[in-house]
Structure 1
Amino acid sequence: MSNSQHPRALSVERWVSDSTRLLAVVLCLPLVDGVFVALVLGGALDSLVGILEVGLLVFGGSAMVAVVLAEMDGSPRRSVGTILAIGAVVIPVAGLQAALAPTIESAIDMAVFERFAALVILAVAAATASAKIAEYLPSPALIIGLGFLATVSPSEATLTIQADPTLVARAMAAASVGVGFGVALAATRPWLQEVVELDRFRFGSAVALGVLAVSIAGMLPSDAPVALLVLGMTALLAFDPARDASEQAEPAFDISPSEEEMADVAGTEPTPLSDGGGSPDSNAESTESTTGLRPGQDRPPWL
């Protein structure tokens, strides 16, 4: 079972068990289930704030944080190389989907589809917060498929690819932000594992995703960095340096049995140390016979 206990990571792990493949699937999941396309069509990348929000919350979300900190093994340098290799695939694919977005946009009613895009993000947020809730929610791909069927207008569709270079650059920038966030996590993983509470970050990220969905639906100003502020507060609350200090300050308990305990196990009375009346050899033999200890042993062999 996944060490991270993240609902989305656990669902992916049913098909993927290796940590590297698990991270690759988590990073590529927004591209596969249609969440990223919905965000592009919903106008989430129209500003620098939106690019940062999509990069940190969608590509570099709490699922990626959980996998990097709780699942990956090996040195930080090796983990950084793994994330960069995955990013070399994720970033171009994000640009390709953004290049196809204007063609898709010409065939659908964007005013209605934006509501479905917000609904998709809310479903991802709910699945991030609780695996139990996710069992009763439709998958993001199903929501996007229903939204496309409800808003499609084949008569207005154009079959030519209308790539917008600015939109492609923004999409690749958002994916790069997520990959860069993963690289930073991998480089500082030994320290972050000791001071970050993953469950706090997961719940806070779910709230930030919910705020992003509300922003896409037009209920919040699109240029206000509310989701980023929520994510920053989440990172601050999840940071717990006292957690590492308490682990280092734990006292070391001496679990070696006392002379009276060893005597009780042996069923004899404790033998006092000789105060000079007997020879060292006789004292050693007496100790061995009463406690079961041989010279050089600090506890009986059955302990």
Structure 2
Amino acid sequence: MSVSRHPIALRLEQQVGSATKLLATVMVLPLVDGIFPALVVAGVLTTATGVIETGILIFGGSATAAVILAEMDGSRRQMAGSVLLIGAVIIPLAALEAAFAPTFRGFLNLPVFERFAGLVILTIAAKTASSEIGEYLPSPGVIISLGLVASFDPSGFVLRTSPEYVLNGAAAAGVGVGFALAIALLSPHLRGRVDIDRFRFGSAVALGVLALPILLGPFDLMQTDAPIALAVLGVTTLFAYDPNAGPAGASAGESASDDPDGGAGDGGATTADDEVDDDADADGGADGEGDAEQSEPPLDAPTAPGPIVDDDVAVIANGGDPSTASDDGDGTDPFADDDSRAPWL
């Protein structure tokens, strides 16, 4: 697995501490810096596509996936419990902020504010893609504050709310929590197979695509209900996922089975019989095959010459009749003095 070492993420991690707190900070951040309210006021959540795109890209996205895959430990049940606990806080807050969206829409010049909302998303996309570029860009809170000042119109201030905005806001947060929950449940399979840096860059591109219809609204460009940002994120997921890569922390047994020197014929696998044979050989050669191998001298070891004993002499030495001794069929007397085969003379 390629663990993202984005400087902004590292700085946030050092300030927050534990992985659960880091995940909560990442998912609550859109509610704190004003990104989510700006999208609600800009009318992004008026369609089902906008709700899904906002939930996945704003509350979920690469930051949430990176924290779950690279930082969180424990079982899937523990990680799912942490995500659900965070969701129990985020969803009501999102619904509460979305409830005030009609009030803000009443005293803001919406065409002007929508342009600032698009700039906020582009800023986040640039910060996500490159930390060097993000160092020169203002924070989202600064851009939203400038947008509020530039589009403020006190004549239309009326306190109002709408159940539709509340439901859409809660639904967007719920989609983000569902995205985080899916990553947590699939984390044993995704770890080591998802390139987080590649997924982060693709998420930045998807955020840029989400911002283009808002910025280009006055020019009637890219005004479509097609989920283009989700399509970009889907393609990014395909490029970032490598099914042939092994999961992180593979066991030693799996790596040993892939070792070409581990054994011939069975891929290096060791059976119980092999272990018994090895133990027997180590204890002194109790194994029959091992004893046979130990009793055989090396092929290149010198062999000591032994005495040459004739078959006829062996007959006499064992109490046999000398007359029965043969001449080996060569017509010579075995007891002749000039016989070189009589080593006793």
| Partners of 1:9 and 1:67 within 8 A in 2 | no
Q: Which residue of 2 aligns with 1:238?
A: 240
Q: Which amino acid aligns with 1:180?
A: G
Distance in 2 (CA, whole Å) between partners of 1:131 and 1:81 is 32
User: What are the ranges of 5 or more consecutive residues in structure 1 without an aligned counterpart?
Assistant: 256-272, 278-303
| Identical counterparts, % of pairs | 52
Q: Which amino acid aligns with 1:125?
A: A
Change beyond 3 A, Cα 1:145–1:47: same
Secondary structure of 2:85's aligned partner: helix
Q: Which residue of 1 aligns with 2:201?
A: 203
Q: CA RMSD in A?
A: 2.4
**RCO comparison, higher one (Cα < 8 Å, 6+):** 1
Q: Which amino acid aligns with 1:213?
A: A
* CA displacement at 1:59 relative to structure 2: 0.4
Q: Which residue of 1 aligns with 2:56?
A: 56
User: What are the ranges of 5 or more consecutive residues in structure 2 without an aligned counterpart?
Assistant: 263-293, 299-345
Distance in 2 (CA, whole Å) between partners of 1:14 and 1:107 is 40
| Partners of 1:122 and 1:210 within 8 A in 2 | yes
| Partners of 2:191 and 2:247 within 8 A in 1 | no
Q: Summarize the alignment of residues 101-112 of structure 1 with structure 2, pairs less than 5 Å apart.
A: 101-112=101-112
Distance in 2 (CA, whole Å) between partners of 1:181 and 1:245 is 21
Q: Which residue of 1 aligns with 2:223?
A: 221
Change beyond 3 A, Cα 1:245–1:113: closer
Q: How many residues align?
A: 257
* CA displacement at 1:222 relative to structure 2: 4.0
* CA displacement at 1:245 relative to structure 2: 8.3
* CA displacement at 1:275 relative to structure 2: 6.6
Q: Summarize the alignment of residues 67-78 of structure 1 with structure 2, pairs less than 5 Å apart.
A: 67-78=67-78
Q: Summarize the alignment of residues 98-137 of structure 1 with structure 2, pairs less than 5 Å apart.
A: 98-137=98-137
Distance in 2 (CA, whole Å) between partners of 1:253 and 1:154 is 77
TM-score by length of 1: 0.79
Secondary structure of 1:244's aligned partner: coil
* CA displacement at 1:5 relative to structure 2: 1.9
Q: Which residue of 2 aligns with 1:176?
A: 174
Q: Structure 1 residue 29 and structure 2 residue 29: aligned?
A: yes
The runs of at least 4 aligned residues of structure 1 exceeding 4 Å deviation read 245-251, 273-277
| Partners of 1:216 and 1:222 within 8 A in 2 | no
Distance in 2 (CA, whole Å) between partners of 1:18 and 1:164 is 38
| Partners of 1:195 and 1:243 within 8 A in 2 | yes
Q: Which amino acid aligns with 2:18?
A: D
Change beyond 3 A, Cα 1:37–1:11: farther
Q: Structure 1 residue 193 and structure 2 residue 194: aligned?
A: no
Q: Which amino acid aligns with 1:240?
A: D
Distance in 1 (CA, whole Å) between partners of 2:222 and 2:11 is 32
| Partners of 2:189 and 2:247 within 8 A in 1 | no
TM-score by length of 2: 0.70
